[in-house]
């Protein structure tokens, strides 16, 4: 390679490496701001601020959804299988909201450790399957076998 | 080896190769995309949770994938522009930047259309969506910077530096869903693992991604040819080519 080109190539590589380091350090320093939501472990550890509008995300705990028959009020618990946080919400839930599904709620944490949400969004996971497969998996899970498809990681 | 590399830099040589390649790229691309989209929209099974609305994936994923690939290709061309001062590399960057802009817009738009019924919102400032919006602005910036500088050579260098600065955003888009908590789900396709969807869903998706790559190749050739004709309008071969087309 021609020496001038070699020099230019070195400059270009230094440019890209320098910017990558700068951006990397900036995003690392701002990581809590870039995170969309606090997970239940962070909230129960007291990392989330109280009475400030924040988002909380996790999975809706199985069997925890209580709907008020006279209004749109819903109560449920959001879990990451480590800790869980009670959430209350008044309003219409997205179609995908269900027990065992991921949600991201926006609202405030009150003094009693309850999360009062004014918006609930459903979080979809990366797994797709036809309805027949899902039925078959649910059936085999009922028969006491472990579903092989869903994986071991919490899918929220 | 260097000889082929320098030959590749000759606009006249590229013009001829592109003319021969283009029909194949277009035919193959349209065929694959038609197969993938008809299969995906019409015959693939629906999702157990989202029903039919997940089918936008057959458009959303190819455009989002290409939007990022095109930027990486532009970054490679930018290095060639800066180091070897090859004209053709700069022609490539200028020809494909608007294509990348449109692809990024389509990815954001289809994502919003899907997000409204699925998540409950069409936009959220999470890391994936925001970094994709930055990509849209980067494409816009590349186009604007190129138009703003009249001198061809200084425009080429300025644009190449901007493209290289922006390439840092690509890994951020890719890994945003793993590094931070986001509303956007992690990737369904990973190089090292099996896709988390059945074959009758991912095969049509793969076909439409490959098809869009070929269509992009055709579009890139077409736009590069136009740019070459404009730039080389004073050379003899361009005059001969244009006169031959007229008679």
Q: How far is CA A94 from CA A73, A124, B113, B116, in A?
A: 14, 11, 14, 9
**Per-residue pLDDT, A148:** 45
The CA angle B28-B31-B35, to the nearest 5 degrees, is 140
Helical H segments across B85-149, by residue range:
87-118, 127-148
**Per-residue pLDDT, A126:** 77
Contact partners, residue A100, CB within 8 Å, separation at least 6: A59, A60, A62
Enter the DSSP assignment of B57: H
The CA angle A10-A14-A17, to the nearest 5 degrees, is 135
Of A96, A130, A135, the CB nearest to B46: A130
Residues of A within 8 A of B170 (CB-CB) are none
* Of A128, A80, A25, A135, the residue nearest B186 (C-alpha): A128
**pTM, entire model:** 0.86
CA closest to A30 among chain B residues: B180
Cβ contact B168–A9 (<8 Å): no
**Per-residue pLDDT, B48:** 81
Cβ contact A5–B54 (<8 Å): no
Sign of the Cα torsion B58, B60, B61, B67 reads positive
Residue A154 pLDDT more than 60? no
Residue A149 pLDDT more than 80? no
CATH match for B22-183+197-221 among 1.20.120, 4.10.860, 1.10.150, 1.10.10: 1.20.120
Interface test with B, best of A32, A58, A126 (most B CBs within 10 A): A126
List pLDDT tens digits, range A65-112: 899 888 889 999 999 888 889 999 998 888 788 888 889 999 998 888
Q: Is B148 helix (H, G, I), strand (E, B) or coil?
A: helix
Place of tokens 């901007």: B162
CA distance linking residue B19 with residue B13, whole number of Å:
10
**Per-residue pLDDT, B97:** 96
This model of the complex carries an ipTM of 0.77
Choose the weakest-confidence range: A10-14, A132-136, B230-234: A132-136
**Per-residue pLDDT, B247:** 57
Cβ contact B117–A57 (<8 Å): no
**Per-residue pLDDT, A29:** 87
Q: Is A36 helix (H, G, I), strand (E, B) or coil?
A: coil
Tokens standing for B201? 């869903």
Residues of chain B falling short of pLDDT 70: 1-8, 191, 246-247
Tokens standing for A138? 């649910």
Residues of B within 8 A of A104 (CB-CB) are 183
CB of A121 within 8 Å of a chain B CB? The answer is yes
**Per-residue pLDDT, A152:** 43
**Per-residue pLDDT, B246:** 66
**Per-residue pLDDT, B2:** 67
**Per-residue pLDDT, A64:** 87
Burial B104-136 (b: 16+ CB within 10 A, else e): bebbbebbeebbebbbbbeebebbbbbbbebbb
Q: Are B206 and B81 in contact (CB under 8 A)?
A: no
Interface test with A, best of B89, B111, B183 (most A CBs within 10 A): B183
**Per-residue pLDDT, B69:** 96
CA distance linking residue B53 with residue B117, whole number of Å:
8
CA distance linking residue A137 with residue B231, whole number of Å:
62
Q: Are B165 and B219 in contact (CB under 8 A)?
A: no
Stretch A115-125: mean pLDDT: 88
List pLDDT tens digits, range A28-73: 888 877 888 888 888 888 888 888 888 888 889 888 889 988 888 9
CB of A9 within 8 Å of a chain B CB? The answer is yes
**Per-residue pLDDT, B140:** 97
A89 is an annotated ligand-binding site residue: no
Of A94, A125, A133, the CB nearest to B120: A94
> Is residue B167 classed exposed, middle or buried when 0-12, 13-18 and 19+ CB atoms within 10 A define those classes?
buried
Cβ contact B188–A134 (<8 Å): no
Q: Which helix (H) or strand (E) holds B186?
A: none
């Amino acid at each position: 390679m021609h020496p001038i080109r070699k020099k230019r190539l070195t400059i270009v590589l230094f440019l890209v490496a320098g910017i990558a380091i700068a951006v990397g350090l900036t995003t690392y320093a701002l990581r809590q701001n870039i995170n969309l939501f606090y997970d239940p472990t962070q909230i129960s550890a007291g990392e989330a601020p109280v009475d400030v509008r924040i988002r909380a995300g996790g999975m809706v705990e199985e069997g925890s959804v209580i709907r008020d028959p006279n209004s749109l009020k819903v109560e449920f618990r959001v879990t990451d299988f480590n800790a869980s946080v009670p959430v209350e919400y008044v309003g219409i839930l997205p179609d995908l909201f269900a027990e065992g599904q991921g949600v991201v709620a926006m609202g405030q944490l009150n003094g009693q450790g309850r999360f009062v949400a004014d918006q609930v969004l459903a979080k979809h996971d990366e797994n797709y399957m036809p309805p027949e497969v899902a039925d078959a998996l649910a059936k085999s899970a009922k028969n006491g076998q472990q579903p092989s498809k869903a994986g071991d990681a919490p899918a929220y | 080896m260097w000889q082929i590399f320098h030959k590749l830099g000759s606009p006249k040589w590229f013009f001829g190769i592109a003319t021969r390649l283009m029909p194949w790229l277009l035919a193959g691309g349209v065929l694959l995309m038609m197969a993938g989209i008809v299969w995906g929209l019409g015959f693939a099974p629906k999702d157990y949770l989202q029903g039919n609305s997940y089918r936008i994936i057959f458009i959303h994923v190819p455009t989002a994938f290409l939007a990022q690939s095109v930027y990486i290709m532009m970054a490679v061309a930018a290095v060639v522009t800066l180091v070897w001062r090859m004209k053709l590399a700069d022609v490539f960057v200028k020809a494909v930047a608007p294509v990348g802009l449109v692809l990024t817009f389509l990815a954001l738009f289809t994502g919003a259309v899907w997000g409204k019924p699925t998540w409950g919102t069409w936009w959220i400032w999470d890391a994936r969506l925001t970094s994709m919006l930055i990509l849209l602005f980067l494409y816009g910036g590349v186009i604007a910077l190129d138009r703003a500088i009249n001198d061809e050579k200084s425009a080429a260098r300025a644009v190449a530096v901007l493209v290289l600065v922006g390439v840092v955003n690509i890994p951020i888009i890719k890994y945003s869903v793993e590094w931070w908590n986001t509303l956007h789900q992690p990737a369904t396709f990973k190089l090292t693992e099996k896709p988390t969807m059945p074959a009758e869903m991912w095969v049509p998706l793969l076909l439409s991604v490959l098809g869009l790559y070929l269509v992009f190749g055709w579009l890139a050739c077409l736009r590069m040819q136009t740019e070459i004709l404009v730039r080389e309008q004073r050379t003899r071969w361009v005059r001969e080519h244009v006169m031959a087309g007229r008679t």
